[in-house]
């Protein structure tokens, strides 16, 4: 039986690679719905190729152009954030791929969870912002979350067949980004154009900047806590520039399992969609005759303070990860527009975290209010 997919964020990096997986496995997947926020031309091209039942554009200003461009096809066209959340809960959808960027993925993911869907989760901010709430809802509504991030997908693969009580710790690998060997003085002068040149992965602009600052790895630490039911002290990070080992699990008998492969996001996407089955893929294979050196080093949280701030937010808990994410989204947008320096991003995030009121057990409404207030406060620091 084919899976019926709703791909939220189909025009982004994860969304387009999900469609690559669909192209390679037309007997396994039907595309029921696709959504995007602004990339209207890509969305139209995808709709014409895959002929989904539903297409949604988040930015309502694009609705008329989208509707007109698809008028000759039997496709239902909608617009707005609420429509994206409604798509995630549609009865005809069996699997929701949440490939949206940032906080915007929270509401649609909650809608999918409450509809009891199978969710291939690429939107790490959902668990960063509201991990406690999401995990409780998953249990209540009998939904399933399967990780798409390469690191969490690696941990997930290493845990198959193991018992939870045997895990001593997990080790998330990080490439180190384009500035791994830069001094503090050099980091003061790097621009967004430099940060967007990632050495191993092809990603969207926001996540590429997060990778350069190690905030992306900090988010993955928080996400791992909720995905795998871990304590903060059970999560380590190691810099692995070659990006061949995607992450590792250490067990109580001292054994370590690692998942390896070339840096290709289509593999974790496909595994999340087809689990528990592995299906044949045309992806390039790792050749150890060419890959002769794997190196590791400890992350430097003096130069890359965002990773330390993420651990601080995780250890404090409550609404602090939500504050961390909101502040980071604002400063990254400012950095992309050359309105703030590379090192200044961490300074602003730290100030916002120290100024926001702490809520130990936030409700969904608290998360919404906290996100809004943290963004306003962050913007004030940028003035």
Angle at 230 between CA 173 and CA 165, to 5 degrees: 110
Structure confidence at residue 27 (pLDDT): 96
From edge to edge, which strands make up the β-sheet containing 54-57? Answer: 76-79, 54-57, 29-36, 3-8, 95-98, 118-121, 144-147
How many Cβ atoms are within 10 Å of 379's Cβ, its own excluded? Answer: 16
Q: Which DSSP symbol is given to 200? A: S
Structure confidence at residue 1 (pLDDT): 82
Structure tokens given for 268: 């974790």
How do 29-36 and 3-8 pair as beta strands? parallel
- Cα 73 from Cα 53, distance rounded (Å): 10
- Cα 299 from Cα 214, distance rounded (Å): 9
Q: Does pTM surpass 0.85?
A: yes
Structure tokens given for 1: 């039986």
Three-class secondary structure of residue 61 per DSSP: helix
Residue 199 pLDDT grade (very low, low, confident, very high; cuts 50, 70, 90): low
Predicted confidence (pLDDT) per residue in 9-68, tens digit = 999 999 999 999 999 999 999 999 999 999 999 999 999 999 999 999 999 999 999 999
How many Cβ atoms are within 10 Å of 264's Cβ, its own excluded? Answer: 18
pLDDT at residue 201 tops 70: no
Predicted confidence (pLDDT) per residue in 66-101, tens digit = 999 999 999 999 999 999 999 999 999 999 999 998
Walk me through the domains of the chain, giving residue ranges and CATH numbers: 3-147 (3.40.50.720), 152-264+271-307 (no CATH), 317-383 (1.10.1740.10)
Q: Which DSSP symbol is given to 199? A: S
């Amino acid at each position: 039986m084919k899976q019926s997919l709703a791909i939220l964020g189909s025009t982004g990096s994860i969304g387009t690679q999900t469609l690559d997986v669909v192209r390679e496995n037309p007997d396994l997947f039907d595309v029921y719905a696709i959504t995007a926020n602004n990339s209207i031309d890509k969305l139209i091209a995808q709709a014409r190729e895959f002929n989904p039942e539903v297409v949604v554009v988040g930015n309502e200003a694009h609705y008329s152009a989208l509707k007109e461009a698809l008028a000759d096809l039997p496709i239902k066209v909608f617009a707005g954030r609420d429509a994206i959340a409604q798509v995630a809960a549609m009865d005809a959808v069996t699997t929701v791929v949440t490939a949206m960027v940032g906080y915007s993925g929270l509401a649609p993911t909650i809608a999918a969870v409450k509809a009891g869907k199978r969710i291939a989760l690429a939107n790490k901010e959902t668990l960063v912002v509201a991990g406690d709430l999401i995990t409780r809802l998953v249990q209540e509504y009998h939904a399933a979350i399967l990780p798409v991030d390469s690191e969490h997908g690696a941990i997930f693969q290493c845990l198959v067949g193991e018992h939870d009580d045997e895990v001593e710790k997990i080790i998330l690998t990080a490439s180190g980004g384009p500035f791994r060997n830069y001094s503090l003085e050099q980091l003061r002068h790097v621009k967004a154009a430099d940060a967007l040149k990632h050495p191993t992965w092809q990603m969207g602009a926001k996540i590429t900047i997060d990778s350069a600052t190690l905030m992306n790895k900090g988010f993955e630490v928080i996400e791992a806590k909720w995905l795998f039911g871990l304590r903060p002290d059970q999560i380590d990070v190691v810099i692995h520039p070659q990006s061949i080992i995607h992450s590792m699990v250490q067990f109580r008998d001292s054994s370590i399992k690692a998942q390896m492969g070339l840096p290709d996001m289509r593999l974790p996407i496909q595994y999340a969609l087809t689990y528990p089955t592995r299906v044949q893929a045309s992806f390039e294979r790792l050749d150890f005759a060419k890959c002769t050196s794997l190196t590791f080093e400890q992350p430097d949280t003096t130069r890359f303070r965002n990773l330390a701030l993420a651990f601080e937010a995780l250890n404090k808990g409550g609404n602090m990860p939500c504050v961390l994410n909101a502040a980071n989204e604002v400063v990254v947008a400012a950095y992309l527009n050359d309105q703030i320096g590379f090192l200044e991003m961490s300074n602003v995030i730290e100030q916002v975290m120290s100024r926001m009121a702490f809520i130990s057990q936030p409700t969904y409404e608290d998360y919404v209010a906290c996100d809004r207030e943290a963004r306003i406060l962050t913007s004030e620091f940028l003035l």
